[in-house]
């Protein structure tokens, strides 16, 4: 399945958002996620199924003004 | 000052971006005496994990964080970013930025009011980055905002208070709403100017981060904000067009 993660195409076998985060090395770190422009809380990542073409955002704390 | 029921000891809110190093950022926050710093969210790589070190540095400073929605150009983007920030930073505070123009980084007031309403109804405590337009400000207050953050000048421009008249009007129009000048401050004298107008606080970033010595500049801003506030509380004299001798005239020598 081909999806977009942070603007980059990714080929993945992960079926859920939680599995995708593990696969891409985000396990155990502080991030927030959105699927197709909508915020997806951490508590719902395991039940959030991915489909071809989904656009995923994975964000973390960063400097800001 | 108090915002959304939280007492702040410092009237200087500091951004965390563009410092020469994390150590200088930490020292600048301490020198500024700020108890609120602004932070943001950006795309994270599962390999580099750049955000994690920054977040542990900020937590070590023991300050409150005010996450922003910088870079958002629509109400929908800003709302989603705010929701993500609330989960990551564990705060209902959000500095709401919805940018309407790339060159001026001017807020889009229509999308700003829309997003402020959605977020306020969802339990957020919204700090809107806005212009000095009174009607927009009224709509933001109606939408649930209990603090207003008008720009002094465009973000990063360092031009100071572009429209003192409008900022004075805003202060007069909203005597009971905490007002923070956010953006455009370049020098401590600009910050003092805003505080002398009766503004409650100053939010700045570039003026400190891009100074040759950010820590020293942070200290300068701390003094300027305190001086400006003291001056406002002391009720400044009215300026006049003609001179008025400060030394008593009575008893002057060599006068008949």
Most A CBs within 10 A among B39, B46, B208, hence the mutation to make, goes to B46
* Sole residue written with tokens 């870079």: B71
Q: Is A64 on the interface with B (CB under 8 A)?
A: yes
Is B210 an active-site residue?
Answer: no
What mean pLDDT is predicted for residues B69-89? 96
Kindly report, residue by residue over B105-132, the tens digit of the pLDDT. 999 999 999 999 999 999 999 999 999 9
For the CA atoms of B102, B29, B4, B167, what is the dihedral angle to 10 degrees? Answer: -50
Task: Tell me the pairing of strands B2-3 and B6-7.
Answer: antiparallel
Secondary structure, 3-state, chain B: CEECCEECCCCEEEECCCCCCHHHHHHHHHHHCCCEEEEEEEECCCCCCHHHHHHHHHHHCCCEEEEECCCCCCHHHHHHHHHHHHHHHCCCEEEECCECCCCCCCECHHHHHHHHHHHHHCCCEEEEEECCCHHHHHHHHHCCCCCEEECCCCCCCCCCCCCHHHHHHHHHHCCCCCEEEECCCCCHHHHHHHHHCCCCEEEECHHHHCCCCHHHHHHHHHHHHHHHHHHHHCCCCCCCCCCCCCCCCCCCCCCC
Considering only CB atoms, which residues of chain B are within 8 Å of chain A?
15-19, 25, 38-47, 49-52, 54-55, 58, 67-68, 70, 76-77, 80-81, 83-85, 87-89, 155-156, 205-206
**Which pLDDT does position B14 carry in this prediction?**
98
Of B118, B214, B120, B132, nearest to B174 by C-alpha is B132
* Sole residue written with tokens 């489909």: A51
Q: Within 10 Å of residue B248's Cβ, how many Cβ atoms?
A: 7
Which residue does chain A place closest to B208, by CA atoms?
A: A65
Quick one: tokens of B203? 């939010």
Q: B44, A31: Cβ pair inside 8 Å?
A: yes
Residue B174 β-bridge partners: none
Kindly report, residue by residue over B160-195, the tens digit of the pLDDT. 999 999 999 999 999 999 999 999 999 999 999 999
DSSP A42: G
Catalytic residue among B76, B95, B159, B210: B95
Tell me whether residue B180 is exposed, middle or buried, using C-beta atoms within 10 angstroms of its C-beta: 0 to 12, 13 to 18, 19 or more.
Answer: buried
Query: At A17, which helix (H) or strand (E)?
Result: helix A17-23
pTM: 0.93
- Nearest-neighbour CA in chain B from A45: distance (Å): 13
Kindly report, residue by residue over B10-64, the tens digit of the pLDDT. 999 999 999 999 999 999 999 999 999 999 999 998 888 888 999 999 999 999 9
**Which pLDDT does position B141 carry in this prediction?**
98
Task: Find the CB nearest B15 among A39, A41, A64.
Answer: A64
Quick one: tokens of B156? 């990063």
Quick one: tokens of B65? 């964080």
CA distances from B47 to A25, A32, A64, B51, B128 (A): 6, 16, 22, 11, 34
Give the C-alpha separation, A15 to A47, whole Å: 10
**Which pLDDT does position B256 carry in this prediction?**
76
Q: B44, A33: Cβ pair inside 8 Å?
A: no
Set of chain B residues whose Cβ sits within 8 Å of the Cβ of A42: 87
Which residue does chain B place closest to A63, by CA atoms?
A: B17
Give the C-alpha separation, B190 to B186, whole Å: 7
* Sole residue written with tokens 């985060």: A21
Neighbouring residues of B198: CB distance < 8 A, sequence distance ≥ 6: B171, B179, B232
Task: Find the CB nearest B41 among A21, A25, A62.
Answer: A62
Q: A29, B49: Cβ pair inside 8 Å?
A: yes
Q: Is A36 on the interface with B (CB under 8 A)?
A: no
Task: Tell me the pairing of strands B64-67 and B93-96.
Answer: unpaired
Residue B250 pLDDT greater than 80, yes or no: yes
Q: A29, B85: Cβ pair inside 8 Å?
A: no
Average pLDDT of chain B to the nearest whole number? 96
Of B49, B76, B84, B40, nearest to A40 by C-alpha is B84
């Amino acid at each position: 399945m081909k999806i977009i993660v942070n603007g980059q195409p990714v080929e993945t076998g992960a079926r859920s958002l939680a599995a995708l985060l593990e696969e891409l090395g985000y396990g155990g770190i502080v991030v927030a996620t959105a699927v197709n422009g909508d915020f997806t809380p951490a508590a719902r990542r395991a039940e959030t199924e991915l489909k071809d073409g989904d656009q995923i955002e994975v964000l973390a704390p960063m400097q800001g003004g | 000052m108090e915002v959304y029921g939280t007492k702040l000891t410092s009237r200087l809110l500091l951004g965390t971006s563009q410092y020469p190093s994390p150590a200088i950022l930490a020292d600048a926050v301490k020198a500024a005496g700020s108890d609120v710093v602004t932070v943001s969210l950006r795309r994270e790589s599962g390999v580099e994990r750049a955000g994690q070190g920054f977040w542990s540095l900020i937590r070590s400073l023991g300050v409150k964080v005010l996450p922003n929605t910088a870079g958002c150009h629509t109400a929908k983007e800003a709302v989603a970013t705010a929701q993500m920030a609330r989960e990551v930073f564990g705060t209902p505070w959000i500095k709401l930025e919805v940018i309407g123009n790339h060159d001026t980084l001017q807020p889009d007031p229509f999308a700003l009011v829309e997003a402020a309403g959605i977020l306020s109804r969802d339990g957020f405590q919204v700090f809107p980055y806005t212009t000095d337009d009174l009607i927009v400000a009224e709509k933001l207050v109606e939408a649930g905002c209990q603090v207003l953050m008008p720009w002094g000048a465009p973000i990063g421009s360092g031009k100071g208070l572009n429209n003192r008249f409008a900022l004075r009007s805003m202060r007069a129009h909203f005597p009971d709403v905490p007002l923070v000048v956010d953006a455009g401050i370049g020098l401590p004298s600009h910050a003092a100017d805003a505080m002398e107008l009766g503004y409650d606080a100053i939010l700045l970033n570039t003026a400190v981060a891009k100074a040759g010595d950010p820590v020293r500049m942070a200290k300068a801003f701390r003094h300027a904000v305190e001086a400006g506030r003291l001056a406002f509380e002391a009720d400044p004299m009215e300026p006049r067009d003609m001179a008025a001798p400060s030394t008593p005239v009575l008893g002057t020598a060599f006068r008949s």
